[in-house]
Amino acid sequence: MDIKSVILAAGKGTRMKSDTPKVLHEIYGKTLLGYVLDNVKNITNENFVIVGHHAEEVEEFVKKNYDNAKTVLQSPQLGTGHAVSMVCPYLENYDGLVLILCGDTPLITEETLKKFVEYHNSVKSDLTVMSTLFDDPTNYGRIIREADNTLKCIVEEKDATPEQKAVKEVNAGIYCLNWGKIKSAFSQLTSNNAQGEYYLTDIIEWGKKNNLNVNAYILEDNKEIYGINSRVNLAQATRYLTDRVLNNLMVNGVTIVDPASTWISADTEIGQDTIIYPSTYIEGKNKIGQKCKIGPCAHLRGGVTVDDNVKIGNFVEVKKAHIKSNTNVGHLSYIGDSELGEHVNIGAGTITANYDPISKTKSQTVLKDNVKIGSNTVLVAPVTVEEGANVGAGTVVTKPVPAWSLALTRSPLKIFEEWVSKKLN
């Protein structure tokens, strides 16, 4: 099925009070817009991101990260209907489906979008609006249905009668259009309203006047369309997403000792019988195997692969590293841009010095199988410690260490007898 998407990302985001475009704010190291694009990538074959405020930054993000998306400038910003009309020149001869989404709703899922499209097709709809139910629908546009349950119109709160305000079904802001039948609506919208803008919701009235099949699909979990307009919203969305992720992990056999203090990204896979201890924060994209122990107070920063039966201790930070099975990383350590073999033991306080601030390059540390690293060791990358080698506590490793050898850079211990007694006298 040929499906394209239009993602609205031109808004200013005034309430964020930020120099960063709203859609480029992040949850677990991924932008809000990134969540939306990732959730449509397996459904659509082309995506259009409507940009406006801070257009250059959003364009750069899309170009750098998404091959199947292009940006379209909306200038000036004259409303949501006007925003979608910006893609009309690109879709002049297109006759498939178009999904319209907002770039600030990162909680919508791929599964929901697939169900939405399936519903649209099953009822032979020309235009379908996603809706949801709220006990308190204040400030949302109300979904008003015909006697046959098709969509009649969307009424904004300020225009609603008392009877309409009592309706709990509201507009979720996501649309599925048969583009060939709906595209001419965007050249016929008017701005006869208080804001002088072209509203996307007006295409419903247009569809009804043109005898098209117009419907509304009810989304079960209203949290999925939670929109982000402020830092408070950003924090709440993070909490919603985290609760969803942790629940799924626990259902699938992962022990989360304290869900209230544990934060794990949706892009992290964790195998069963792994235990995540309190105050652990895992962001970015990671894969953790079975029967591992992570934390407490561990931080995985993304790009991390952890094989089975690995222990990552408390106050350990890991990023862009592969840690193979049966390896232990002791507390208070930093492992970055590294590959650790099987049955490796990392003593407490060990760090991989992977960044050169002069050349601004990062280099890799490789520890082969059965390597033992003593506490408070610094591994200055690029460096390789070959199989079975031991590194003594307090060592600074600056060159390759041969297999089954001992590496040690430790000054001789000097003891000055009676030194303290003499100082006290």
Burial class (CB in 10 A: 0-12, 13-18, 19+), 168: middle
Structure tokens at 174: 């996501």
Other CB atoms closer than 10 Å to residue 125's CB: what's the count? Answer: 22
The answer to whether 53 is a known catalytic residue is: no
DSSP track, 304-354 = EEE-TT-EE-TT-EEEEEEE-TT-EE-SS-EEEEEEE-TT-EE-TT-EEE-
3-state secondary structure of 173: strand
Cα(213)–Cα(361) distance, rounded to whole angstroms?
58
Crossing angle of helices 55-65 and 32-40, in 10° steps, is 40
CB 36 within 8 A of CB 101: yes
Cα(18)–Cα(268) distance, rounded to whole angstroms?
28
Phi, psi of 265 (to 5 degrees): -70, 155
Q: What is the DSSP letter of 15?
A: G
Q: Which helix (H) or strand (E) holds 407?
A: strand 406-407
Report the Cα 163 to chain-centroid distance in Å.
39
The catalytic position among 25, 54, 120, 331 is 331
Q: Which helix (H) or strand (E) holds 38?
A: helix 32-40
DSSP track, 198-247 = --TTHHHHHHHHTT--EEEEEES-GGGG----SHHHHHHHHHHHHHHHHH
Q: How far is CA 272 from CA 262, 312, 322, 350, 357, in A?
A: 17, 16, 19, 28, 40
Residue with tokens 């993070």: 238
Q: Which residues are catalytic?
A: 331
